[in-house]
Structure 1
Amino acid sequence: MKASTQRALALLDQCLSLTMTHVKQIQCHLTVSGTLLDPHAATKIISFCAVSDHGDLNHAYQLFHYLPNPSKLIWNTMVRAFAEKNEPIKAVCLYKNMLHIGFLPNNYTFSFLLRACAHLSDISLGKIFHAQVVRLGWEAYDFVQNGLIHMYSTCDCMESARKLFDTSVNRDVITWTALISGYVKSGLVVVARELFDQMPVKNTVSWSAMITGYAQVGLFKEALELFNDMQVSGFRPNHAGIVGALTACAFLGALDQGRWIHAYVDRNGMELDRVLGTALIDMYAKCGCIEIARSVFDEMPNMSRDVYAFTSLISGLANHGQSGSAIELFVRMKNEGVFPNEVTFICVLSACSRMGLVDEGMRIFNSMSEEYRMEPGVQHYGCLVDLLGRAGMLEEAKKVVREMPMEPDSYVLGALLNACRVNGDVELGKETVEHLIHQSLDHGGVHVLLSNMYASANQWDGVAKGKKGNGREKGTKASWMQLD
């Protein structure tokens, strides 16, 4: 191999400073010199393109097809790349092609395939790979066994995951964390915490998995306590741990701790990606600091401002009496090519309702199906009823409830009942309460509201009836629930 070719290949080891432009120049040099098909050279080029953060997986795939006889290492590199870059189906298809030409998988192949199965949550495929692992004798390898535990945990097969864990001879921190994460996805945080406390050695990932688990099931106080314990134990919080802690701060209104976490993010130069940025926006909005939430949104890179970041700020603005700004942000979102989701529409329709913007609200509601091919759900109809009711358009609101394609729930009927109160329509209010009771959605509050409506209309007999409810037994089609 010529010295110039060796120098070109040596450049590929400088992954941090290379770009795809440099790599393509090196590839051209190797092609001209006739050494591109050399196994060492081809492996270097494909590995950079497929695995590096600065690479190009499509380019690697094209080069892979160009090679007449790719080595097993190159096959494994491509399977790994597709598995790691969220293209699990391509990883599995490539594996089938690999078998077809006569290459047998090794322990590395299976570790990548099991990750692909976890992405797909395909337990049937995972069991097939597990059988092949056993048949070919790779089950004892640590990272294969960890991959199996992770795969079963992700597919919610905790019994199989626990069996593998209990029979494992060499449990490392990854083995423990895989099982703990599985119990956290399954909502079994008590079992997860028992395992966590038994871990002989913990790392940042295991601490973060437990913090995230507490936040996911609503144990926010426990999440923050564990976040503090993590730092006392000498571990620096990572991305996942910070997001879990911010979620807890948002629901607890723990502004001081949220500010400390934000300062930690800035101090360590962490990028405000879509997950972290949205978590900060949500925390500040729920803690009453809507202007700081807006500034975090503005600091986020354009690529990170996705539907979740926009929706979080739209919701915060609407909930802080800035409905006009919420609607403006919704328009900006559309102009920037970010597609709203179901929650976005609930937030912006609520903003229209608070401002009495009936025409704008109707236009936005209709755009769900006409522009975005998204069928409105029951909460969207509830927002529409609230919009019309607040504007005094009671007949139109009643028509929406009557013609909506699904049964109205307590949110829809509650919006209609509130509209009845605002507009003083006692009879429609009584009808609405009956609908709530028919669906077992009634509670004391609706009867208090109804009795107040009777009182406002000077119908004092109705006040007593509203407080007591009606004496018919539950179970008949037009039943009322007896209230003491």
Structure 2
Amino acid sequence: MTTFTSGVSSPSPPRPATVLPCPRRESALRAGAAATARLHEHSEREAREWSTLVRRLSLEGRPGEALALFREMSLRGSDRCVHPPDGVSLSAALRCCSALGAVKSGREVHAVVVRNAERLAGLQHVESSLVNFYATCGLLVEARRLFDGMPERDVVTWTIMLMGYADCDGLEAKLSELFEQMLCSGIEPNPHTFTTVLRRVSLDWGRQLHCHIAKMSLDLDAFVGNALLDMYVKNGDLDCAWRIFRRIQDKDVVCFNTLISGYGRTGDADGLVSVLQDMGMAGFAANQATHVGLINGCASLGLMSLSAQVHAHAIVNGFGSDAIVRGALLDMYAKCGDLDAARAIFNELGTESRTLVTWNSMIGAYGKHGRGQEALQVFRLMEMAGIRPDYITFTCLLSACSHSGLVDEGWRLFKLMGQFYMIPPRNEHYCCMVDLMGRAGMIPEAYEFIINMDCEVGPSVWGSLLNSCRLWGDAEIAEIAAKWLFELEPDCSGSYVALASIYAADGRWDDADVIRGLMETQGIKKKAGCSWTEVESDVYNFRAGKTNDHQSIVGMNSTCNRLDQCLSNPAPLETS
């Protein structure tokens, strides 16, 4: 026992470590435990505050700041006195990595999750965030590995994995297989699941999903209903799209825009105008997407009078100066044949407002109308502006050279694309080159060019060669091209008709009859083509071999007479 004295005595031998009496020792231990608890509580509170701040920054669209704060939080978490990141901050950090496409940072966050696996056990939202990160960054193998390794998966996790497949081209089979596995596992899809899958389905599969959705009465919902509407529109079934549209209870402007896009894509001018009127009567104002859909519809129709009205409608509603709308207007006037109006809009945009799409539209406009030199001039301006071309740019340029007979310039651009801009040629580029040589009568050279292609030859390339053979009457190479087309597109009537025409032009009537008999045997029918012309804001539709009504014949004859007058008399005609 230690003895305490009030005085100082003579030196004494060293004493053992001080041991407090039991009551005092227990009091000290309690005080120390309380201090540790206060420190622990403070660190927990601090960790929650940091996690809340990281999450808030991520939700406010400030991923860079949120990720920097998470890194600082992780460094502090290495100290024993400070709590490491929790599930909330980890999920927020992974969401930021997805938004930034920061694969390396995402893997670092994944490493933090692995190090704290025991503490984070059972937090399914963290595992779902990891799957979402890898899927969003296109790393579907890693995403699927994590997904398959999860002990429990809810509808959110399934939807995330489905979304990863839906965002990539060519993975429709995997998407379908995973969705079937989801149903077999007993997980009921939610509206987000259906909208994700509907983006990538065929018409037959889409109808099956429609039945499933109808049983759950989700087709009445504007969110799911619009996804169904978009699916039918993309597959060209506007009758079903219209029925879906009528069933949606709380329609929004997106539903109207989807239907407008559908009618514009199929060239139904009456339906286009009718939906726009219904939209106004329902109290919805046309937005940017509405005008773009209307303009694209007019571009596919090629009707100048309707195009001018839509342009005026955009100006009245305050979208005349919108860059995206003006880019669509440029494309519309170009497809309608009014290149002066298209170039005027292009000049109004200015260098800073011109996007890559705008440059491509102007180049393509000149190319389609056989004005290759103007297309090349625009491309030179594009290079001077520092805009890097893409594969679409070179498709437009090569097509322009083909329509203008610029063989040498076409070869120069084809080499420039691969050697300088490092853009690998696609089937559409090869198709343009074959058409370029074919129009110039270089049929053997075009065939040799196809044989030496570095990629798989698509039907468009063989089709271009076959058309060139028909133009120059080369039956020998035409037979080779047609043979490939019969294998690649067995149900397409165009290749059969082209080969039969070549045989007939060469006097080989028996061979032509064999091809036509082959079409009948296989049940292949040629769809009748039709033409239309616009006379004084009225559209007249007619086709060869069909008795047209009186008004169509009058309108057609009136237009032809005016064209004859223009050819015989260069003076401008007076308009009535």
In 1, the alpha carbon distance for the partners of 2:381 and 2:335 equals: 15
User: 2: distance between equivalents of 1:386 and 1:137?
Assistant: 56
Other structure's SS at 1:116 match: coil
Matching residue within 81, 84, 90 for 2:164: 81
CA distance in 2, matches of 1:261, 1:365: 38
Alpha-carbon distance between aligned partners in 2 of 1:330 and 1:263, rounded to the nearest angstrom: 31
Tell me what 2:107 maps to: 24
Q: 1:4 maps to what in 2? A: 84
User: Does residue 64 in structure 1 map to residue 147 in structure 2?
Assistant: yes
Contact residue 331 and residue 362 of structure 2 kept, 8 A? yes
Structure 1's 217 and 324: CA in aligned 2 closer, same or farther, altered over 3 A? Answer: same
> For residues 99 and 222 of structure 1, do their structure 2 counterparts lie closer, same or farther at Cα, with a shift above 3 Å needed?
same
Partner of residue 200, structure 2:
116
2:426 pairs with 1:364? no
Instruction: Please give the alpha-carbon distance, in whole angstroms, between the structure 1 residues aligned to 2:498 and 2:366.
Output: 34
Deviation at 1:349, TM superposition (A): 0.6
Q: What is the CA–CA distance in structure 2 between the aligned matches of 1:64 and 1:207, rounded to whole Å? A: 42
Q: Deviations over 1:203-242 (max 9, x none)?
A: 2112111211111122255335424532431236475872
Over 3 Å counting, the alpha-carbon distance change for 1:403 and 1:318 in structure 2 is: closer
Segment drifting more, 12-21 vs 30-39:
12-21
1:67/1:403 CA distance change after superposition, 3 Å = closer
Give the aligned residue type for 1:195: V
The one-letter code sitting in structure 2 at the alignment partner of 1:174 is V
CA shift in 2, pair 1:12/1:224, >3 Å: farther
Q: Which moved more, 1:20-29 or 1:177-186?
A: 177-186
Query: What TM-score results when the alignment is normalised by the length of structure 1?
Result: 0.68
* Preserved contact between residue 215 and residue 247 of structure 1 (Cα < 8 Å): yes
- Contact conserved, 1:318 with 1:347, CA < 8 A, in 2? yes
* Preserved CA contact (<8 Å) 2:236 2:266: yes
Q: Which amino acid aligns with 2:154?
A: S
Deviates more, 1:136-145 or 1:257-266: 257-266
Match for residue 280 of structure 1 among 362, 371, 384: 362
* 1:294 matched to 2:379: yes
Identity of aligned residues (%): 17
- For 1:349, the equivalent position in structure 2 comes to 437
Match of 2:390 in 1: 305
Q: After superposing the two structures, state which structure 1 stretch, 134-143 or 366-375, moved more.
A: 366-375
1:151 to 215, 224, 231: 231
The equivalent position to 2:339 in structure 1, one of 250, 254, 261, is 254
Shift of 1:195: 0.9
Which residue, 414, 424, 435 being the options, matches 1:337?
Answer: 424
Please, which runs of 5 or more residues in structure 2 have no aligned partner?
1-46, 48-76, 78-82, 483-495, 517-576
Distance 1:217 1:79, change over 3 A: same
Paired with 1:318 and 1:20, the residues of 2 have a C-alpha distance of: 43
Normalised to the residue count of structure 2, the TM-score between the two structures is 0.59
Instruction: Give a deviation string over 1:2-52, Cα, whole Å, max 9, x none.
Output: 74323544433535556111111111111111137621322333333334x
**For each residue in 1:245-272, what CA deviation from the matched residue of structure 2 results, as whole angstroms up to 9, or x when unmatched?**
32532552434543534653743474x2
Q: How big is the shift at 1:374?
A: 5.3
Q: In the alignment, which residue of structure 1 is the partner of 2:263? A: 183
Work out the CA distance in 2 between the residues paired with 1:289 and 1:116.
39
Shift of residue 334, structure 1, vs aligned partner: 5.9
Q: Does 1:107 align with 2:191?
A: yes
Query: Residues 247, 362 of structure 1: CA spacing in aligned structure 2 closer, same or farther, 3 A cutoff?
Result: farther
Q: CA deviation at 1:175?
A: 1.4
Q: 1:9 to 1:169 in 2, by over 3 A?
A: closer
Distance 1:115 1:82 in 2: 11
The one-character-per-residue Cα deviations of 1:157-189 (angstroms, maximum 9, x if unpaired) are: 222222222233211111112222222233222
Out of 172, 194, 198, the residue aligned to residue 278 of structure 2 is 198
Contact 1:126 1:151 in 2 (8 A): yes
Aligned counterpart in structure 2 of residue 209 of structure 1, from 278, 293, 306: 293
